[in-house]
Structure 1
Amino acid sequence: MARAGLTLERLTLEGAELVDEVGTDQACVRRFGVKVASLYLHVKNSQELKTGTAPLALEELADRAADALAGWAGKDALTAFADA
């Protein structure tokens, strides 16, 4: 039976945060207090979870880059982008 409150969206968002924190999607198991087998009742596999986090990471990168590039040009803009 599926654990109440777990959805692909929630697992994806939490997974993205955990990857930032500890660098592994296995941390989802600890965060949600489920066994690995239970996690896979909600997602097909770890690749699906990673695929769900990729757009979130790209959106965050785009936001950071836009903020960092504001007001800069040329070499300074490139440096700001790299720092983002």
Structure 2
Amino acid sequence: MLDRIRSMGPRLPPAERRVGELALKDPAAFSRWPVSEIAKRSGVSTPTVVRFCRSLGYDGLTDLKERLARMTSTEPPHGR
């Protein structure tokens, strides 16, 4: 999933790219934040957050956040 964000990043509009950078920086927190917090921290509008999710092929923010949450809960801790 994070690989998808990395690979799609260069092809996304700058505003959507900022959302992706935030997701890559802290995927666990990203999966917990409401859309308004993601938008604020990315410096974009809330519709841009949803467009970012759809650009990656997800149904919307809820779909992306659920997948991120599952992924981050199954990843081994860093350094192990």
TM-score scaled by structure 2? Answer: 0.48
Larger-Rg structure: 1
Greater relative contact order (Cα 8 A, min sep 6): structure 1 or 2? 2
TM-score scaled by structure 1? Answer: 0.47
